[in-house]
Structure 1
Amino acid sequence: MPSPFTSSEITHVDSANDTIDSLLSISRWASTTISYSFPISNNPLFWSSLSGGYGFQFGDGEPWNSAFVPLTAADQTNFVRALQQWANVANLNFVQVAETASEVGDIRAAYTEDPDESTLAWTYLPSPSTLAGDIWINTKGLLRFQDWNPGSISFETILHELGHALGLEHPFADPNDPSKVALPRDLDNTRHTIMSYTYSNLEGDEGTEFSFHPTTPMVLDISAIQFLYGSNNFYHTTNDTYTFDDASTYHETIWDAGGFSDAIRYAGAIPSLIDLNPASASRIGQSVYVQSNGVNIGSPIHNIWIADNVTIENAIGGQGNDIFIGNSASNSLDGGGGTDTVVIGFPRHQFTFGKSSGHYFIAANTNPANQDILLNIERVEFDDTGLALDLDGHAGEVAKLLGAVFGASSVANQEYASIGLTKADEGLSYEQLGAFAINATNLTHHDEIVTLLWLNLFGTIPTQSDKSPYINMLDNDEISVGSLAILAADSEVNAQNIHLTELMQTGLAYI
């Protein structure tokens, strides 16, 4: 254990990976068991005034400053909570020690003063110096006046400073060190690493903070800290379900060390995006924005990330219109309520698709045994076509109306199907959709409309006696044009004409 006048052993590091190296300082603690303490006094017995320490004890160095204040009990609670977030992802064991004249923590945290109110905190990196691992919070900064609750910029700041105390650096270029590796601009932001200073959204708009800040290390932080200390291979090793709802706001990265049937479950109603790929992100629940002076900028950002080298096999959507992106594992994707879509970023011909045991399945032709199971999914979108699966819903209405109004062969017209699905998904009722289809034929006379529907159903021109009852109903406003289209669409002969049973196995193709 270190004393006020000595530091624990360190070791030098270099990953030979530019992305990770951009976040690394030159050293880390040699041990994975790291102590921490909360100083309660600036008495010289507890601080080094020697060379490599804080200098003359009556100067204005950090502990000697008259503004020195210990952390409050609430601060300490959230500080330990932030430590735990790092321990969750890395092979780290944090041990609290009580400060004495002969023993202090590797990491120490207290308040002191910097006249610049925009300076929230600063930290000394692991090194042979007795300053190493010391975290100082500015009494003139926001953290002195704001609770350090998760989601606040204060909690993110503590996570950031602990990253420094463990050996992480800022990812941007250092003008005083030309050899410093920097992250590319599109990665140098706090969506990817809490060690960045840049708050930016997907459009590249920059602000000063988030509406809700990260509550864990983010994807690149996790990769870097695991390089330094190893992974926590005992965290979430069983089949875990990560549940999110609309009652809370989230901004985090999931680290999962094992299991073979893990799931992300959304128990809410806001349309969401769930991407199961490692090092990828989702938008789930309450929106999180980049802000400038408290004002939201642009579109919501992704707020739930999956760490690299993590496999989450399954996803369960909420009551809204959700979007799912699977990964290389066998996935079970359950849309829940709403009109839900699975996005496949490859051409249709590269996949086998069908229905078995009451559910749809999809598998790459190169790995047919690796099937994704689709439950309560209404749309599958390949990069060249789409399949509408809700043949008992909007897709069925569109397919049947196409057959009745435009003829059975039109069911294969993907452009027509796309127009109909768009209108149905936008909220047109079945009757309104029928009227929309009839209007698209440019026929206005009741005789012409009845003749068209009869011809498409039976393949023959109707006699006057065949069509008179329907013409009379239209003339007398006993039935609307849209309702007559539905009457034809829902007929058994139309179902046979368009091969509705087969469509229920294959889905309705659209573009």
Structure 2
Amino acid sequence: MTLFVSEGASLEGARLSDHSRLHAGDAYAYASYSTYQHSFPYTGDYRIDALLEGYPNQTGLGALGYQWNAGRALGSPVQVTYSFAAAAPSYGGNVDASSGDSGFEPFNAEQKAAVRQIMGQLSQEFGLDMVEVGDGTFSYGQIRFGNNYQETSTGYSWLPFSTPDDRSGDVWLDLWTPQNLSSLAPGSEGYGTLLHEIGHALGLKHPGDYNAGSGGSGLPGNYLGTAEDNETYTVMSYTAPAGGQQRDWFGMYDLLALKTLYGSRNYNAGDTVYSYTDATGRVLKIVDDGSGFDTIDISGVSSAGNRVVDMRPGTFSSIGVRANGQKAVQNVSIDFSTVVEKFVGTAHGDIVTGNHANNVFVLGLGSNVADGGAGIDLVQYTGNRAGYQGAATGGGLQVTGNGASDTLSNVERLAFADSKLALDVGGNAGLAAKILGAVFDAPVIRADPGSAGLALAKVDAGMSYADLLTLALDLRLGAGRTHEQVVDLLYTNIAGAAPTADQAAPYLAQLYGGTFTQASLGVMAAETAENAAQIDLVGLAQTGLIYV
């Protein structure tokens, strides 16, 4: 669906009409804005407000009433019924002499299947219970679906509670538009038209000043600017993306608005793998995921496809090949509340940007570029550590070997088949090394990667410096240790020789006097320059800390 239609029903009963194509010179050409217009703030977020219709010239949440849970708190879940009209409704909606609408035909089996698929996903993703009911003369759904003949549009609908009769929420598709009637797979033009019209039926307006057959109103409103008023961001837009793809689901701004209206559910709960291929480039997709350890896997994309992935919420990735053979651009988006933890790449060289989580990057062969962003991020390799070489490059790291040549930044860990390497010596890895040196002595750091791995796991999980020091002392000396044992251990490991009675006395006095706890004394010892020297902290910063 390349929707170049819609306006925003600012008056009660106004119909939202939609076209599948905008031709040069059409009378309903609309105004565009270089930046967003936010004349009537409702939620305060222009991305949401551009898709919601409020009562005329009102602001604030109280101005919102064109949604099925009107009268209840915004975000309240609600049941909405729908049905497929078996005959022309007694209250009308299918006939309008002014716009040339006429006739009636019920939805065919394929149209019904597409609607049920959409309604099922809406029920899983949002606080909407979309329930199909029977359709008769006096009993029918709040949203009714039917076909008719339309001279100026390919489909139209009404916002909830926007008419004085039961037309509110009804969806009508044009019988003269063949895409409306068959081949209604997700990502097809007809499927996109259904998404768009159902968006209206749930309370979403167009994000610009336009409506099929009537042009723009020229009145103040909430409108997106030209950079965002397109189907890349919202299926409710008239403007197709540069690549001409259709959406297979709502866009990121649509999800923001629908979650604001009806709340959200734990959609795609659990560990979910989102696998993409060259064919992904033919559609506009979105990842909306409520929980779990989730993965974007582009290993099925060929060298002909685009392979640029951004895992941050509210961003776009370019994955696959368009229908014309060109590389797809910004065709996969990440919902604003979604966190994806893992990336699996191709053998052709990829570009990936991580998010704030602790990301795992499985990079394939070729020249890859990975930016881990925030969090403790790990790049995973298949070969043994000896088969790779690393070199610092302007704040990052170049890793080569076994067919890979990767440029890494903001990556804290490398994993190989036989061991792992912690690069964040200025962070958690350094803290772990300093504790190991102070409590277990310097040789342990390089001779026992298992101990390094245990310490790293604890600090990565959020254990405090003092608590980790206490755990180390428990393991080294036991829970019943004396102050004398602690002072002797720490002094010996730091200075290289046991303390004399005079050397130990001031530390013991502070322990018995309560100035120090064993943990705080241990932290002080671990942070000394002598400890940094004896564990060769500077050298570790160059080589990394080996752990398993």
What's the TM-score bracket when you normalise by the shorter of the two chains? 0.5 to 0.7
- 1:63 and 1:77, CA in 2 relative to 1: closer, same or farther beyond 3 A? farther
1:225 aligns with: 258
The structure 2 residue matched to 1:387, chosen from 375, 382, 397, is 397
2:302 aligns with: 270
After superposition, residues 94-173 of structure 1 pair within 5 angstroms as 94-116=130-152, 119-127=153-161, 128-129=163-164, 130-144=166-180, 146-173=182-209
Q: 2 CA distance for matches of 1:380 and 1:280?
A: 30
For structure 1, list consecutive stretches of 5 or more residues without a partner in the other structure: 1-6, 8-12, 202-206, 290-294, 346-363, 365-369, 397-500, 507-511
Once the two structures are TM-superposed, the CA of residue 78 in structure 1 deviates from its matched residue by: 1.0
Normalising by structure 2, we get a TM-score of 0.56
8 Å CA contact 2:364, 2:404 repeated in 1: no
8 Å CA contact 2:365, 2:403 repeated in 1: no
Letter paired with 1:179:
P
Moved more, 26-35 or 139-148: 139-148
Q: Is 1:20 the counterpart of 2:20 in the alignment?
A: no
1:371 alignment partner, SS class:
coil
1:492 aligns with: none
Letter paired with 1:281:
F
The structure 2 residue matched to 1:254, chosen from 270, 283, 287, is 287
1:28 alignment partner, SS class:
coil
1:302 aligns with: 330
8 Å CA contact 2:50, 2:207 repeated in 1: yes
Deviations 1:208-254 (A, max 9, x none): x42xx21111111100110111112x312212222223466553111
Instruction: Quote the sequence identity (%).
Output: 25
2:106 alignment partner, SS class:
coil
2:378 alignment partner, SS class:
strand
- 1:394 and 1:306, CA in 2 relative to 1: closer, same or farther beyond 3 A? closer
8 Å CA contact 2:82, 2:131 repeated in 1: yes
Deviations 1:286-344 (A, max 9, x none): 3237xxxxx68x75222221100111111111222111100011111111333322036
Once the two structures are TM-superposed, the CA of residue 19 in structure 1 deviates from its matched residue by: 1.5
Aligned residues: 340
Letter paired with 2:358:
S
Once the two structures are TM-superposed, the CA of residue 65 in structure 1 deviates from its matched residue by: 2.9
Q: 1 CA distance for matches of 2:279 and 2:316?
A: 20
Deviations 1:129-178 (A, max 9, x none): 31101111111123345421111111111101100000001001354262
8 Å CA contact 2:43, 2:49 repeated in 1: yes
After superposition, residues 102-501 of structure 1 pair within 5 angstroms as 102-116=138-152, 119-127=153-161, 128-129=163-164, 130-144=166-180, 146-173=182-209, 175-176=216-217, 178-201=219-242, 209-210=244-245, 213-232=246-265, 234-246=266-278, 250-259=283-292, 261-271=293-303, 272-284=307-319, 286-288=320-322, 300-343=328-371, 370-376=375-381, 387-393=397-403
Once the two structures are TM-superposed, the CA of residue 258 in structure 1 deviates from its matched residue by: 1.3
1:470 aligns with: none
1:463 aligns with: none
User: What's the C-alpha RMSD, in Å, of the aligned pairs?
Assistant: 3.5
Q: Is 1:93 the counterpart of 2:129 in the alignment?
A: yes
1:93 alignment partner, SS class:
strand
8 Å CA contact 2:101, 2:151 repeated in 1: no
Normalising by structure 1, we get a TM-score of 0.60
Once the two structures are TM-superposed, the CA of residue 371 in structure 1 deviates from its matched residue by: 1.4
8 Å CA contact 1:54, 1:61 repeated in 2: no
8 Å CA contact 2:80, 2:128 repeated in 1: yes
2:528 aligns with: none
Q: Whose RCO is larger (CA < 8 A, sep 6+)?
A: 2
